[in-house]
Amino acid sequence: MICSGINAATGEPIAVECTETIRSVRADETAPKDVFLAAGFVDLQVNGFAGVDFNSPAQTAEQNVAEIGRAIDAILATGVTRCLPTVITGPPDQMLASLKNLRRAQTALPRGRAIAGFHVEGPHIDAADGPRGAHLAECVRPPDPDEFQRWQDATDGNIRLVTLSPHWPGAPQYIAALVRSGVAASIGHTGANAAQIAAAVDAGATLSTHLGNAAPRLLPKIQNCLWDQLADDRLSASFIADGLHLGEAFFRAALRAKGPERTVLVTDAAAPAGATPGRYRLGELDVELTQDGRVLLAGTEKLAGSALRMPQAITNAVRIGGLSLADAVRAATVNPARLIHLKSRAGFGLRDGDRGDIVVFRMTETIEIDAVYLDGVRIA
């Protein structure tokens, strides 16, 4: 396969030749000037898509694999070629069943390799209103190494990211154990104090999950859990850039604090993403996609995930956040890949030897996807 356009990472006209991996990237002055090429997007947090809830353990194995496959195909069409399906706080047996279903899909689906592993968001979060977000209070519980090992056993060692609050006693030891096993630890859904956050980072935490969301509603103005995470250069931060979860001023300031190398864009997409307005499920919760694109806990005004797609997140990072296109693409490609140690995706942009995951797009009012390649094969 050969495709040409403007390298979104460098602004240079190029032609890319690839099979399963990129064989060559060369200058091409004949490349179209209105077409951009980028490495396939990487989404570290997606709870569902196209009406499919990744947190559902209810269907038969065959039904579940087929439904997850439908969602993965829809995600691929948005340019996300590697993602972490995300299981949120729930009863232990149901979280385990959801992970088993996702692992079964990862191994059985023809495009299951697009599933780069799994993100467990909770249940070791702050149970207080505000930090807990839409997660079920009765299912919040402290870090448990044995439960983590059950997740790993259910997924054949494919847990890649765990989000927890560092306020729990023993959290640093738990984080250190995650990191020793090759799993990234992220701070999220927390009202932890400065000492607790510092201890988590000292233990090896490297990310803040959807920073600016799932925090106490009222915070001290001088020192609080948001400032403490923004100020620590050892932490990258993920953001839900849908124009709903974050105010513009905070988003722009947070991007400046983290800089282009430590900014990660996630969708936090739930089942309603890519679907029509109406009611859907998110694990044990009923959620509703409104006409204006919000995903709410049914019957409330509380956000419960998003309907965001990664091209829109990149567009908003440019138009609202003030990032260059190159830095916004970086936040959706190399930065998340680095955090989860995704093989053959270390280069900023397109590089010889990287995976043949390529997105071809145009940039008008928003990013419009022209083509998506997975391991060198066009799939959208």
Whether residue 141 is contained in a domain is answered as: yes
Q: What is the mean pLDDT of residues 366-373?
A: 97
- The pLDDT, as a whole number, for residue 348 is 64
CA atoms within 13 A on the CB side of 359: 28
- Note if 268 is an active site residue: yes
Position 344 pLDDT exceeds 90? no
More confident of the two residues 346 and 146: 146
Whether residue 305 is contained in a domain is answered as: yes
CATH number at residue 94: 3.20.20.140
- How far the first Cα of the chain sits from its last, in Å, is 14
pLDDT bucket at 225, cuts 50 / 70 / 90: very high
- The pLDDT, as a whole number, for residue 126 is 98
Please state, in angstroms and rounded to a whole number, the distance separating the CA atoms of residues 241 and 256. Answer: 15
Average pLDDT, the chain: 95
- The pLDDT, as a whole number, for residue 109 is 97
Position 349 pLDDT exceeds 90? no
Whether residue 12 is contained in a domain is answered as: no
Tell me which of 43, 232, 268, 327 is the catalytic residue: 268
**Which tens digits make up the pLDDT trace of 104-124?**
999 999 999 999 999 999 999
Q: How far is CA 300 from the centre of its chain?
A: 25
**Which tens digits make up the pLDDT trace of 231-251?**
999 999 999 999 999 999 999
Position 346 pLDDT exceeds 70? no
- The pLDDT, as a whole number, for residue 283 is 87
- The pLDDT, as a whole number, for residue 84 is 98
Please state, in angstroms and rounded to a whole number, the distance separating the CA atoms of residues 367 and 360. Answer: 10
Name residue 130's amino acid.
G
Percent of the chain with pLDDT over 90: 93
Please state, in angstroms and rounded to a whole number, the distance separating the CA atoms of residues 271 and 133. Answer: 17
Whether residue 289 is contained in a domain is answered as: yes
Domain extent, residue 84, equals: 40-347
- The pLDDT, as a whole number, for residue 270 is 96
Nearest Cα to Cα of residue 355 among 377, 340, 339: 377
Whether residue 246 is contained in a domain is answered as: yes
Count the domains in the chain: 1
Position 17 pLDDT exceeds 80? yes
Listed in sequence order, the DSSP H helices in the chain are 61-76, 92-108, 145-154, 171-180, 194-203, 225-231, 248-258, 310-319, 325-331, 334-339
Whether residue 90 is contained in a domain is answered as: yes
Please state, in angstroms and rounded to a whole number, the distance separating the CA atoms of residues 79 and 315. Answer: 13
Whether residue 361 is contained in a domain is answered as: no
**Which tens digits make up the pLDDT trace of 323-338?**
999 999 999 999 999 9
Q: Residue 210: which region, alpha, beta or left (left: phi > 0; alpha: psi -120 to 50)? A: left
Render 252-317 in DSSP notation, one character per residue: HHHHHHHTTTSEEEE--B-TTTTS-SEEEEETTEEEEE-TTS-EEETTSS-B-SB---HHHHHHHH
pLDDT bucket at 365, cuts 50 / 70 / 90: confident
pLDDT bucket at 59, cuts 50 / 70 / 90: low
Whether residue 161 is contained in a domain is answered as: yes
Q: Is the dihedral of CA 189, 209, 99, 204 positive or negative?
A: negative
- The pLDDT, as a whole number, for residue 128 is 98
Name residue 6's amino acid.
I
**Which tens digits make up the pLDDT trace of 181-190?**
999 999 999 9
Q: What is the mean pLDDT of residues 26-37?
A: 97
Nearest Cα to Cα of residue 239 among 326, 312, 139: 312
Please state, in angstroms and rounded to a whole number, the distance separating the CA atoms of residues 16 and 378. Answer: 14
